[in-house]
Amino acid sequence: MIVKTIDRIKRINLHLHTNVSDGALSPKKLIDRAIDIKLDLLSITDHDTFEAYRHIDIKSLPLKILPGMEISSIHKGYDVHMLAYAYDMNNRELAEMTDMYLSGRRDRAVLMIEKLAELGMEISLDEVVAFAGARELIVRPHIAQAMVKRGYVANKNEAFDKYIGNNKPAFVHKPELLVGEVIKLIQNAGGFAVVAHPGKLAQPEFMEELIDLGIDGIEVWHPDHYQYQIEEFTQLALKKGLYLTGGSDYHGEQDNHNLFDNVPVKELVLDSVNKLWKEYQCRLN
């Protein structure tokens, strides 16, 4: 007997940013692009906010949307980004966390602007906020854009390399929760905690430590991953019974390899994403 697979998800991109955080496209324009390239499933994963979902009507769209967010956290003094999927946007603790990050990023921006002024580069908070989205969630690329506009640097990469990158003269740490706290927050909000771009972790052994802390999945495919890393993360996720995901980490056309497209994941990943989607649908009902 032939069994027909109904509505199998085949074309995905589960790591996309809008101008609500540091992306180039508005939520609506990003959705329009996704429809144009015939994605079956996408997730908007703005930094530390789910405000983008306030600007779209998920139920009226001709494609599937998995609620997402890329949450900053810290592990042993190093940055770790966690992708939160399928969470309840009405969860109070999660909303409080996003508010904390919003105010903390603004305070951080003020301190960084002061440091830049000491280095002879005067920019105002208003100039930086002008590059932020409607929620005014300020991230370092917004400061870099203001520096480029003033002519202090030629491009954002120069701003990071010389002044605002980690441990550079105008760098200030942003407020961050411990990764274990973030994992619990996501799961208590009914979501799945997936480690983002694990190939960029500061220490390879962090991967096993994050698994011990209770993550639900691994972003096995990311444009910054080498093929051998994709294979290693895939086998690790299968061995540990974790979800496998993939996304391009798209911010805008200025990124040459973080493209807005269907991500070329293997059937194993698609199987896992379909399972994740079905679990999300079960939790909704």
Say which CATH number the domain at 156 has.
1.10.150.650
- What are the residue ranges of helices labelled H in 78-226? 92-118, 125-129, 140-150, 156-159, 179-188, 206-212
Do 85 and 105 fall into the same domain?
no
Q: Which of 113, 143, 164 is the last residue of a domain?
A: 164
**Mean pLDDT (the chain, rounded):** 93
Is position 1 within any domain? Answer: no
Q: Are residues 253 and 202 in the same domain?
A: yes
- From 124, 145, 164, the end of a domain falls on 164
The residues facing 227 across adjacent strands are: none
pLDDT on residue 255 = 66
**pLDDT tens string 161-175:** 999 998 999 999 888
6 part of a folded domain: no
Nearest alpha carbon to residue 52 among 89, 86, 83, 81: 89
**Strand order from edge to edge, sheet including 177-178:** 177-178, 68-75, 78-85, 192-195, 217-221, 243-246
Distance in angstroms (rounded) separating the CA atoms of residues 66 and 87: 9
Domain check: are 110 and 221 in the same one?
A: no
> Hey, which residues does 37 pair with through a beta bridge?
none
pTM, rounded to two decimals: 0.89
66 plus 185 within the same structural domain: yes
Is the pLDDT at 258 greater than 80? The verdict is: no
* In-domain check, residue 23: yes
Question: End of a domain among 106, 135, 164?
Answer: 164
- Report the CATH number at residue 54: 3.20.20.140
Structural domains in the chain (count): 2
- Asked whether residue 26 falls in the same domain as residue 102, the answer is no
Q: Per-residue pLDDT tens for 124-160?
A: 999 999 988 667 889 899 999 999 999 999 999 999 9
| Cα–Cα distance, 135 to 145 (Å, whole number) | 17
Q: What is the DSSP string of 235-273?
A: HHHHHHT-EEEE---B--TT-SSS-SS-----HHHHHHH
Helix (H, G, I), strand (E, B) or coil at 32: helix
Same domain, 92 and 104: no
Residue 206 lies in a domain: yes
The two three-digit tokens of residue 45, written as one number = 């994963």
Domain range holding 185? 12-97+175-284
Domain assignment present for 152 = yes
Residue 284 is predicted with a pLDDT of 85
Residue 175 has what DSSP assignment? Answer: P
Q: Say whether both 118 and 128 belong to one domain.
A: yes
Same-domain pairing of 36 and 150: no
pLDDT of residue 6: 56
- State the amino acid at position 199 in one-letter form: G
Q: What is the layout of strands, in order, in the sheet containing 12-16?
A: 12-16, 41-44, 64-65
Between residues 187 and 257, the one the model is more confident about:
187
Q: Can you tell me the distance from the alpha carbon of 147 to that of 156, in angstroms, rounded to the nearest whole number?
A: 8
Convert the pLDDT of each residue in 95-127 to its tens digit. 999 999 999 999 999 999 999 999 999 999 999
Reading phi first (left if > 0) and then psi (alpha if -120 to 50, else beta), residue 118 is in alpha
Residues 142 and 207 in one domain: no
Whether 198 is covered by a domain: the verdict is yes
Name the β-bridge partners of 44.
16
Domain assignment present for residue 3? The answer is no
Judge if 236 and 141 occupy the same domain: no
- Any domain includes 71: yes
Do 192 and 56 share a structural domain?
Answer: yes
The pair of three-digit structure tokens given for residue 37, joined into one six-digit string: 């390239």
Report how far residue 177's alpha carbon sits from residue 121's, in angstroms, rounded to the nearest whole number: 31
User: What is the C-alpha to C-alpha distance for residues 240 and 237, in angstroms, rounded to an integer?
Assistant: 5
Q: Do 41 and 93 belong together in one domain?
A: yes
278-283-284-285 Cα dihedral, nearest 10 degrees? 90
CA distance linking residue 137 with residue 46, whole number of Å: 10
Structure tokens at 12: 């995905």
pLDDT (tens digit per residue) in 32-86: 999 999 999 999 999 999 999 999 998 889 999 999 999 999 999 999 999 999 9
Which residue in 258, 252, 195, 260 sits closest to 229, CA to CA?
195
Of 5-14, 20-29, 202-211, 247-256, highest mean pLDDT:
202-211
